Structure 1
Amino acid sequence: MVSARSAHAVGRRALALKAAGFSHRLYRLAIRLLLLPLLGWLWWRGRAEPGYRTSLDQRLGLIDIPPQGRDGVLLHAASVGELQAARSLIDSLQQRWPAHSITVSTQTPTGAQTLRQYFGSSVRHVYLPADIPGAVRRFLDALRPQCVILMERELWPELIWQCEQRCIPVALVNARLSERSARGYRKWHKVMASVWPALDLVAAADQPSLERYRDLGVPADRIMLAGNLKFELGQGYGKATAPEAYANRLILVAGSTHAAEEAQILPLWKAFVQRHPQALLVLVPRHPQRFDEVANALRQHDLPFARHSLGEEPSANTPVVLGDTMGELMRWYGMAKLAFIGGSLAPVGGHNALEALACGCPVLYGPHTHNFDALFDSIEEKEAGQRVQSAEQLLAVAESWLADPEKLEERGRLSSEFVQAHKGANARTVEALEGFWKARDLQALCRIDDVNLSNQTIWLDPDITDTLTPEDFNPDAAATDAAILPTGSGRGQVLVKSVSGHQVVLRHYRRGGMVAKLSRDVFWRRTDDRSRAMEEFALLRLLRSWALPVPRPVAARHAPVGLLGYRSDIMVEMIPGSRNAADRLQQAPLSHDEWVALGTVTRRMHDLQVFHSDLNCHNLLLDTNGHAWIVDFDKCRVRTGQDWKQANLERLQRSLRKEQGRMRAFHWSEAADWPAFMQGYEPNGAQRY
């Protein structure tokens, strides 16, 4: 029997999952009912930000991912703030695991725009779908991530549930949780109860967050204190040389402001400038769709301003610059004497103060900082910033700071030191994520080229060949370099041929059972990436990265037939000196060690939760060195649960009995050989787990 605690080596936990519980099904119903209002709201938001309208298909999980973009890392960062925190982590992922494609999902167009500014085309962007079963299923089917990294508080129950079903490990990094949010989760504890144990890693940003997540139900062995990734701002942050138009000005930046804050600050700014003629307010609204609205507000308050997006520069008498461009907030902080952190006078919860501090810019902030309470408390304790209760107090404190340049410079130094003292979160987070890949051979993730010829799609490994054509897959073509290799499985033959100096096995997919009498090799039409050949190619690529002994995929073909059908073929590299167990047993008995090797490799496959749909003695191979291999992964997949493993073993057992019954000579002794196989499968019996 198969142990009930067999663990998935990538997810690092036992998988014996049940169907979705009652509370989760209610959650699904509620989200489905909200879907149409959500799509309507996105369409309405699209009036100001067209990105919301152009991405509606992706909100339903309809994404187009090329083959080389699959089997990688999915990182979800809701918007600009989360992307800023994730920037150093993405840099590290690209350096540490270059074989993995990285896809970043956001929920806002500004997040997508920020991602492109940071990483260009080196990172793929998609929008996260609505958290309904169908959309999430389509999304994961297309992307097939091998790890999902969620930033800060992006906990979506259906996404996490489906990742668990697919054996995809999920990490929550830079995990922050205020007491207010924790109360909300406790209020909906029945919905969230399945989420906490499904998280493979929670890398907390601070100690209070760690304790709150642990109290909610995250297992203690999966939670750690990593620190705040927003301290990892990388190189190039610090004081900047101001352009001539800004020289000799006392620059105060109001960063990431909201309408309620602008309504409080702007009526007071004219009087402030009269007392300090050199003062210049750089006003940077939080949301780009409000830039025109803020420009109108400045006109209504009779405040002359320079609009940065138009290339305008302030004159000596200009009191305000409207920072109406994306991605330049750090530039403004680098030029400023001090900064106000938006979202804190308005009851929003405060925004990220670390960018300003990293530039040596001390900060002022209002009473509403519940998004970052621990951070702002530390800032005040280190004298790098001060809390104010109103716009009047904000400008009064700013005036007192500007009146004491030496003290203000000291605050700037303390600001920089505060950020430097908290660095290291990125290294700790990456080290924790490393555990997801301990069992991985990332170099085995072969590259994929996607070629379209004569209405046919070919995937190939360019490190082996880049010269294949549809004719190379024709199983009926007479090829002088091809040899016929019987499969023994009753579905015809495969060809062994040479491709670019490599011996490969070409297998043409054929139908079995009664349906084969109607159609020998035509299957119902599917998109090329979901065809049998491409599915097997992708799975073999993945299994090799898990160090499972399977053949290297060389190429796969999808050939449409009429309007509703397709044919499919796959090429895999020939395993030198290998023969399948059925062929070997026709010649002579297998040794005890060979049976143990076959049992061990089968167990490794099951420990990785890999379901082999046709596990039989033709698909288990032994090479001349006694090493065991597994082949023919058509219709196979990563699968949760345990019961199917015993059925897999029974299928293998039946195939041995069947061959023994139909072969004149077949050297198989169930009484002696099956226990040797099971010795490899369960080396220590029930004690192993």
Structure 2
Amino acid sequence: MGRRPLALSSPVSLPHRAYRLLSRALAAPLLGWLWWRGRREPGYRQNLRQRLGFIPIDPEQLGCIWIHAASVGEVQAMQPLLHALLEEWPAHAVVVSTQTPTGARALQTHWGDQIRHVYAPIDTPGAVARFLNRLQPRLLILVERELWPEWLQQCRANAIPVALVNARLSEGSARTYRRWPGLMRPVWPQLTVAAADTTSAERLRGLGVPEPRLHDTGNLKFDVAVPAARVALAPELQGRTLLVAGSTHEGDEAAWLAIWSELSPVNPSWLLVLVPRHPQRFDEVAAHVQHSGLSFVRRSSGQAVSPGTQVLLIDAMGELMHWYQHASLCFVGGTLAPVGGHNPLEPMSVGQPVLFGPHVHNAAPLFEEIARSGAGERVRDARELAAAVQRWLMQPETWQRRAHAARELIARNQGASARTLAVVRPLWRPAHTGNVSRVRASVDAGRTAWFDPHHLSQVCARTFDPIAHVGGTALATGSGRGQALLVHEGGQGYVLRHYRRGGLMARLSHDRFWRAAPHDSRAMREFTLLRLMRSWQLPVPEPVAASHWPRAGLFYEADILVGLIPGSANVVQRLQQRPLAPAEWQALGRAIRQLHERQVFHADLNAHNLLLDPAGQAWIVDFDKCGVRTGGDWKPRNLERLRRSLRKEATRVAPYHWTEADWAPLMAGYQDLPAPP
């Protein structure tokens, strides 16, 4: 997909060409910055090749749903949707990318090895092309606001639908997009949007997202799953009043440490629980607490909290919800620090009202609703924070009232994941998940094979050797690349096709192709495309196995094994026996239309590759050098190629029951019209 000329040479605007030049120029500095940042957080130095699109190839995940969640916040936001998605879609066919190691860790913490993780490519043409080529997703789901122009350009070029879910857009971001209309104009009609709030939906509508593609589904974070079990506190903590400052940054911590020097001595049972947002800051925060003169304990030290401990520093990942559950007061970080605010719905989901600062531009409508409903309170600085802390803890009825408002707000807004799934579902339908099977890979005698274990328990070099299949029957009537053989494996009949060259190149090397990685070989590409089309329930044969065989170091040979369509014959064979009925021509037209509706381009649409079975059902075969293609101008040319093929066979074979009048019922079927009289 990504290495097709289509992906890199399709027409793009002048602003996008300039963007490509800039992205290439910045690629090396960006990779250098990631390596440098890896001094403090080693995760940034790991898998740098993936940032250039060199992700490992797993054949069972080709044709997956790709979800991009940039960091921790986006990973948390998409979890309810992912839970809902996995009720309908196989987990092995979902891949999640992040940009930060903390996002990767959050995914690993919640899902373990159930969901595959990769690092997202930087936004250069080469990196994105390699990534798409190695993943070949059927759908891209972006979480919140990850609009990378080159990603979206190449998804358009490869006819990959894109959904933006839990979409949030500030006025500042909208102004930025409006400054670059030439670059962003093609993006908006491409998106299917599930907006987190009405304000964001209106801004996206103003930018150009079409009304039928714009949906106000609500904030996914309202559906965050509450931990199934409440883990008890350590005995030394059970008599303490816990004030949890979650996902904090330097400005948040500075404010809390400033007021804690005054509040803690007069309220010795109170314990400040600091949970920094980023693990690379754990040592830095510990140094700040020590410098403040407060008595503190680091969670990682294993040291017990004593009655004199004033601060507990949580220098561990994945524990925030536990501390929110046991808190007497919760503060949302990134709000006194000018970061824009982190997720206030996590503490609210366990019945906790929230305190937060003035910097909430990341989710301003949500924080405004929290303040308006009484589920939380905004403070402007450390002085107001101290006053609010004392008021909330000294007046239990105030806290109870706000806690009730928080629970009501959560209940009122739940259901966003179901609404979002309803918006996204048509983008993969009519995919039939029963056909999204797990593919296995094997290597035998230097030959790499991919196969579907639903058909074959194992494959070897013999599986693809026509000489080994004694009694195999030749099926195809064409010449060159169209040769096929009926073979039997495991008691079942299959069609084995050895890839051959056509035209002038066949005189130089009739069945060898210039070297390519297995996933880039003709056999694996056709195998993957057939799997995609079968999941769409298109009239094509089932892919059974494919092989890539390196030869003489510089070349490879390729073979594919597909399911047999019993009793079928191609159009040329049928026309040598009798004229086709109008209903049969219509069936052929409908089959071609089904492919074209899914944007499948057949590079060699001819009379030999159209089949009819005994029931009159039409099938299409031989998808070498084919693929999903954007646009529609190629479709009439595709049909005209078939028409030329029908005419050509009239000069080659006899008898041959074809007339120009037969084209009308075929086109009637293609256009879904009644057959002409």
Normalising by structure 1, we get a TM-score of 0.94
**Match of residue 143 from structure 1:** 135
**Matched length:** 666
Partner SS state of residue 506, structure 1:
strand
Q: Which residue among 418, 434, 440 is the counterpart of 1:427?
A: 418
Q: Which residue among 42, 61, 68 is the counterpart of 1:76?
A: 68
1:202-241 pair list within 5 angstroms:
202-236=193-227, 241=232
Q: Which residue among 318, 327, 341 is the counterpart of 2:318?
A: 327
1:240 CA drift (Å): 5.8
Distance 1:79 1:504 in 2: 46
1:236 CA drift (Å): 2.4
1:414 CA drift (Å): 2.5
1:400-419 pair list within 5 angstroms:
400-419=391-410
Q: Report if the CA contact (8 A) 1:595-1:673 is conserved.
A: yes
Establish whether residue 184 from structure 1 lines up as the match of residue 202 from structure 2: no
**Match of residue 236 from structure 2:** 245
1:241-640 pair list within 5 angstroms:
241-477=232-468, 479-491=469-481, 493-640=483-630
Call closer, same or farther: CA 1:205–1:238 in 2, change over 3 Å. farther
1:642 CA drift (Å): 2.3
Establish whether residue 157 from structure 1 lines up as the match of residue 146 from structure 2: no
Q: Report if the CA contact (8 A) 2:55-2:134 is conserved.
A: yes
1:239 CA drift (Å): 6.9
Partner SS state of residue 476, structure 1:
helix
1:439 CA drift (Å): 2.2
1:485 CA drift (Å): 2.5
1:513 CA drift (Å): 1.7
Establish whether residue 94 from structure 1 lines up as the match of residue 86 from structure 2: yes
1:526 CA drift (Å): 0.6
**Match of residue 30 from structure 1:** 22
Call closer, same or farther: CA 1:481–1:235 in 2, change over 3 Å. farther
1:480 CA drift (Å): 3.5
Distance 2:87 2:437 in 1: 17
1:59 CA drift (Å): 1.1
**Match of residue 643 from structure 1:** 633
Distance 1:243 1:334 in 2: 14
Distance 1:187 1:491 in 2: 52
| Residue identity matched to 1:77 | A
Q: Report if the CA contact (8 A) 1:367-1:389 is conserved.
A: yes
**Match of residue 173 from structure 1:** 165
Call closer, same or farther: CA 1:384–1:490 in 2, change over 3 Å. closer
1:483 CA drift (Å): 2.2
Call closer, same or farther: CA 1:100–1:654 in 2, change over 3 Å. farther
Distance 2:303 2:189 in 1: 54
Q: Report if the CA contact (8 A) 1:489-1:618 is conserved.
A: no
**Match of residue 54 from structure 1:** 46
Q: Report if the CA contact (8 A) 1:619-1:632 is conserved.
A: yes
Unaligned runs of 5+ in 1: 1-16
Partner SS state of residue 633, structure 1:
coil
1:131 CA drift (Å): 0.9
Call closer, same or farther: CA 1:212–1:239 in 2, change over 3 Å. farther
Normalising by structure 2, we get a TM-score of 0.96
1:100 CA drift (Å): 6.2
Same amino acid, percent of matched pairs: 52
Q: Report if the CA contact (8 A) 1:237-1:334 is conserved.
A: no
1:413 CA drift (Å): 2.9
| Residue identity matched to 1:320 | V
Q: Report if the CA contact (8 A) 2:548-2:558 is conserved.
A: yes
Establish whether residue 657 from structure 1 lines up as the match of residue 647 from structure 2: yes
**Match of residue 667 from structure 2:** 678
Call closer, same or farther: CA 1:55–1:99 in 2, change over 3 Å. closer
Kindly provide the CA deviation profile for residues 483-531 of structure 1, in whole angstroms up to 9, marking residues without a partner as x.
2324323447422111122210111111122222221211111111111
**Match of residue 3 from structure 2:** none
Q: Report if the CA contact (8 A) 1:161-1:198 is conserved.
A: no
1:187 CA drift (Å): 2.2
Call closer, same or farther: CA 1:299–1:377 in 2, change over 3 Å. same
Distance 2:464 2:390 in 1: 78
Q: Compare relative contact order (CA 8 Å, sep 6+) and give the higher one, 1 or 2.
A: 1
1:119-134 pair list within 5 angstroms:
119-134=111-126
The structure 1 segments of at least 4 consecutive aligned residues displaced by more than 6 Å after TM superposition are none
Q: Report if the CA contact (8 A) 1:157-1:195 is conserved.
A: yes
Q: Report if the CA contact (8 A) 1:99-1:442 is conserved.
A: no
Q: Report if the CA contact (8 A) 1:238-1:358 is conserved.
A: no
Q: Which residue among 177, 190, 213 is the counterpart of 1:198?
A: 190
Distance 2:392 2:637 in 1: 75
